[in-house]
Structure 1
Amino acid sequence: MAFDLPEYDDPYFLDALQDELAERPRDFLSLFYEMHDAEEESGRIDMMIRMLGLILAMTNEQPELLNRENAENEATAVQNLVENSLITYRMWADDIDREAAERWLHSPEVQADFEIARASFKEVLKVLWDLEDAPE
């Protein structure tokens, strides 16, 4: 079965994502190693997609990871967690300070790749859960 993922068409993507979700990291250092492996093997978009899937799995098992007290709603809490994870990952992977990692995250190239990763991940969730529209 082939899936039409927006701007990111990889026939092995869905199988790989399902395999990755089966191996759920319990902490952020393990998550960062997973992200690093994906980035080295396949690039930034794959790293971001893997991160989204693993954060979904981690927050399902550890809902306390979402700081709901400092967010307007759950979507904002997830967005904050994802952004903080990317910033902290980049600091860890490249041994840079927070300001440099934030500049990296907010660069047009990284933002464009993140939108591709987010849209692709959303399409996979639709397929996996047989939804007409996946949550943002």
Structure 2
Amino acid sequence: MDFLAYLAATLPPPIFALVIGVLTVICLLLYGVGLYIFFVVLYSVPSLRFLFTDIDEMITQWLKSGTQQRSSQKTRRKASTSCRTTNHELQRKLLQLLRGDKATANRLIRQQRQMHPGRSDKWYLEKAIWDLERDRH
């Protein structure tokens, strides 16, 4: 603080304001670079990649797995189709409860994945829906 008081006393007000502005921009840039490095390191840890998964990516994975299962056997085709339909309906229900807020839906799914690792995608969706309905009643 002594440095700022010294600057305020020795510099004319417009120059002092400019110096403060430049210092603020430098601080914000350093903060941004620090955050960027933090997220790069966080993403490089394989066990924490689930934090970066969103619902759109989950849907793509489900569709791919459904396509692969359909090509293998007819019985498995029926099971994967019904599972995919169920997951799709659960996704739609979760988004409906959140009034279309995908960011909140992603956050809830990420929290469930973090608290209960190793469960199925369907389970995470059901748990998020159950928690929302429980908290609303």
TM-score tier after normalising by the smaller chain length: under 0.3
TM-score by length of 1: 0.25
TM-score by length of 2: 0.25
Q: Which has the higher contact order (CA 8 A, sep 6+)?
A: 1
Greater fraction helix: 2
